[in-house]
Structure 1
Amino acid sequence: MKKSHTYNYVLAAFGAAVIAVLAQVTIPLPLIPITGQTLAVGLIVTILGTKLGTISVLLYILLGAAGMPVFSGMSGGFAILVGPTGGYIVGFLVTAIIMGLYLDKFGITLVQAIIANIIGMAVTLTFGTVWLKILADLSWTAAFMGGVAPFIVVGIVKAVVAAWLGVIVRKRLERAHLIEAIA
């Protein structure tokens, strides 16, 4: 059964809300904090797929840019997007698209979802690190040490958790006919 546009937009809004809530799970680090945002992006794209997952991420970014306190630390505003963490946040949008396209091509199994989420982690870290290097005028080594190295292990753990939970939730929502199965 095909769901209405309104229903799909409600799902996307719910996805943005999940990202906003998990963004508040934060472990402070000197340069860039560890947050639940990356886990949430992977989880939402795994559950909702390319289109609705990407819309969720875009809505999350737009709400934050408009000043809603949805970014980590209950922050919001355009200044966050042009600050040190802005590259990661903008990277979430590209992450959602790439992850979704990967899952569309290879299917949403646990193994493929883990691979997609690890790719997503790499995309987000790449965007964030390049942004950090340019914004803070850091060397590549310093940008890598501050923007990638502290997040590799925790990023892999978050990717696996997002994939595992995402596949479980997606299958249950498909069985309940609350989202459409990918053909």
Structure 2
Amino acid sequence: MNTQHEKLRMMLTAAVFAAIIGILAQVTIPLPLVPITGQTLAIGLAATILGARYGTLSALLYMLIGAVGLPVFSGMTGGMGVIFGPTGGYIVSFVFSAFFIGWYIEKTAANIRHAFVANLIGMIINLSFGTAWLKVIAELSWPEAFAAGFVPFIIGGIVKALLAAWIGIQVRKRLASVRLLPQSSQKHPA
């Protein structure tokens, strides 16, 4: 296939994943400062399936769409106020988390074990950045920020990392088998 067509297809796929992130963001369990959402699962899926470049693009598109005011963030919210609010650090970290997950899988092997490790580390990136942001924005002490912004999300994060790895690798295999992923994404099929 023509590389221009392949690039366009992958950019459109990244846009679809940005929409999926926005949809899963609406799956929430409310907590006092930061809710548990499906966003991190969607970020893990995007990065596991699409790799570093297009997984990161999907996270970036999601963040930008929400930043301009479309209600794609948790609780059907959007705008710069959310980005600069208590949960903004988690949203900004999605770009870095997606890049790392995709990069790690590309550098190791596209299998469930490596995808799980990548998604676990991605979760730590997300929670660390979000907790640091929460500490500054909410003017909390480090123990308070850690208790509110990190600890409640560990178990759910592990479960979402496992789901993103398992589902992501299965979808990635199927897309590769019908040649819907570029050749570079098929480098290490599981």
TM > 0.5 = yes
2:159 and 2:119 mapped to 1: Cα distance?
A: 10
TM-score of the pair, normalised by structure 2: 0.94
RMSD in angstroms over aligned alpha carbons? 0.9
Q: Which runs of 5+ in 2 are unaligned?
A: none
Cα distance in 2 for partners of 1:117, 1:144 equals 20
| Cα contact 2:176–2:186 (8 A) shared by 1 | no
Q: Indicate the residue corresponding to 1:149 in structure 2.
A: 151
TM-score, normalising length: structure 1 = 0.97
Number of residue pairs matched by the alignment: 183
Q: How does 1:121-160 map to 2 (within 5 A)?
A: 121-160=123-162
Moved runs in structure 1, 4+ residues, more than 4 A?
none
Tell me the alpha carbon deviations over residues 57-105 of structure 1, each in whole angstroms, 9 at most, x when there is no partner.
0000000000011101111001100000000000101101111211111
Distance 1:51 1:80 in 2: 25
Partner SS state of residue 177, structure 1: coil
1:174 aligns with 2:176: yes
Give the aligned partner of residue 14 of structure 2: 12
Deviation at 1:5, TM superposition (A): 2.5
Q: Corresponding residue for 1:72?
A: 74
Q: Supply the distance in 2 between the matched residues of 1:27 and 1:160 (Cα, whole angstroms).
A: 19
Aligned equivalents of 1:55, 1:113: Cα separation in 2? 19
- Give the aligned partner of residue 23 of structure 1: 25
Q: Which residue of 1 aligns with 2:93?
A: 91
More divergent stretch after superposition (19-28 vs 98-107): 98-107
The alpha carbon displacement at 1:176 in A equals 1.0
SS of corresponding position for 1:74: coil
| Paired letter, 1:182 | Q
Question: For the residues of structure 2 that align with 1:4 and 1:124, how far apart are their CA atoms?
Answer: 30
Tell me how far 1:182 sits from its aligned partner: 2.9
Which of 55, 58, 77 is the aligned partner of 1:56? 58
Segments of structure 1 that go 5 or more residues without pairing to the other structure are none
State yes or no: 1:114 paired with 2:88: no
- Shifted more, 3-12 versus 64-73: the winner is 3-12
Whole-Å Cα distance in 1 between the matches of residues 110 and 22 of structure 2? 24
Q: Percent identity?
A: 54
Q: Which amino acid aligns with 1:105?
A: K
